[in-house]
């Protein structure tokens, strides 16, 4: 520090610039005043107020958290599978019980009828407080042929309508007007309107609907469907206006 004071005094002295002065090196003076060794010694002797030491020791290579998660996943999967299995058994037993109850409630005859209809591509439909035997066409049936009692058949170039379904009311003991419905996109010549509508039953009228004989009932349903897959032009509400060709044949079915 004495050297620094001497340097400052020299700067503040009245000595002129031209006066010769001995060469002075500030960097060397400072270095000499406090060298690196002295700095190091002072740092070693300095007081350390706060020292924190953290040490992490790995006792084992087993990751308990990951292992616990894996064990939980295994348990959850096994529990889920057990619940699914019990639920499936319960649902099957419940279905058997419900089926038995419905069989006793509805009667063996109805169950046999449903089975017979299903085996012949018919279904049971409940609609407007009525029970219908129903056939659904997939794809829809193109109604292109119109027949006359004489045996002459008109074959139209384009379908007059598409037949989507045929219904027979099973609550009627015999066929009367209103017993048969059909579903079409456009109006069938033997139907009251397009869509779901009644049809003229023609020579099907008064035919018995034999619920007690499933074979006879299936035969009747097949005949009804065949009837409305064509057009009966002798008793039609209108004559189609499409172009057609003519052929001679016999009716597919008559009463």
Quote the CA–CA distance of 184 and 163 in Å, as a whole number: 5
- Note the pLDDT tens digit of each residue in 172-184: 999 999 999 999 9
Average pLDDT over residues 101-116: 73
With residue 111 as reference, give the H or E element that holds it: helix 108-119
C-alpha span between 3 and 29 (Å, rounded): 7
Cα–Cα distance measured from residue 230 to residue 115, given in angstroms and rounded to the nearest whole number: 28
Confidence of residue 185 (pLDDT cuts 50, 70, 90): very high
**Where is pLDDT greater, at 147 or 59?**
147
- Domain boundaries, given as residue ranges, for the chain: 91-120, 122-248
Asked whether residue 137 carries a pLDDT value surpassing 90, the answer given is: yes
Which pLDDT value is given to residue 253? Answer: 39
Q: What is the pLDDT of residue 178?
A: 92
165: CB partners within 8 A, 6+ apart = 134, 135, 136, 137, 182, 183
Does the pLDDT of residue 83 top 80, yes or no? yes
Can you give the pLDDT at residue 254?
Answer: 40
Do strands 231-232 and 145-147 pair parallel, antiparallel, or not at all (unpaired)? parallel
Query: Cα angle vertex 159, ends 163, 133, to 5°?
Result: 10
pLDDT at 99 over 70: no
pLDDT at 72 over 90: no
User: Would you say residue 85 has pLDDT above 90?
Assistant: no
Q: Residue 26: pLDDT above 90?
A: no
User: For every residue of 147-209, which 3-state class applies, written as one string?
Assistant: ECCCCEEEEECCCCEEEEEEEEECCCCECCCCCEEEEECCCCCCECCCEEEEECCHHHCCCEC
Summarize pLDDT for 190-214 with one digit per residue, the tens: 999 999 999 999 889 999 999 889 9
Q: What angle do CA 150, 152, 158 make, to 5 degrees?
A: 145
**Does residue 167 contact residue 228 with C-beta atoms inside 8 Å?**
no
Nearest alpha-carbon partner for 143 in 247, 244, 255: 244
Amino acid 71: pLDDT:
74
The pLDDT of residue 149 is above 50: yes
Average pLDDT, the chain: 80
Please indicate, yes or no, whether the overall pTM of this predicted structure exceeds 0.85: no
């Amino acid at each position: 520090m004495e050297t620094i004071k001497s340097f400052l005094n020299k700067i503040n002295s009245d000595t002129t610039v031209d006066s010769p002065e001995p060469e002075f090196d500030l960097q060397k003076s400072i270095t000499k005043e406090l060298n690196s060794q002295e700095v190091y010694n002072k740092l070693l002797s300095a007081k350390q107020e706060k020292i924190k030491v953290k040490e992490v020791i790995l006792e084992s290579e087993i990751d308990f958290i990951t292992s616990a998660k894996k064990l939980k996943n295994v348990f959850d999967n096994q529990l889920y599978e057990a619940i699914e299995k019990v639920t499936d058994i319960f649902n099957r037993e419940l279905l058997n019980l419900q089926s038995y109850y419905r069989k006793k409630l509805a009667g063996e005859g109805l169950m046999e009828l449903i089975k017979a209809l299903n085996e012949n591509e018919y279904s049971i439909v409940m609609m407007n407080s009525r029970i219908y035997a129903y056939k659904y066409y997939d794809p829809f049936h193109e109604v292109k042929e119109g027949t006359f009692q004489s045996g002459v058949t008109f074959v139209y170039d384009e379908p007059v309508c598409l037949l989507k379904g045929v219904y027979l009311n099973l609550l009627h003991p015999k066929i009367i007007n209103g017993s048969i419905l059909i579903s079409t996109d456009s109006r069938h010549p033997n139907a009251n309107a397009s869509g779901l509508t009644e049809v003229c039953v023609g020579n099907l009228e008064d035919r018995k609907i034999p619920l007690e004989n499933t074979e006879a009932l299936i035969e009747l349903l097949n005949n009804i469907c065949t009837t409305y897959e064509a057009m009966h032009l002798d008793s039609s509400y209108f004559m189609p206006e499409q172009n057609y060709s003519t052929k001679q044949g016999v009716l597919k079915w008559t009463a």
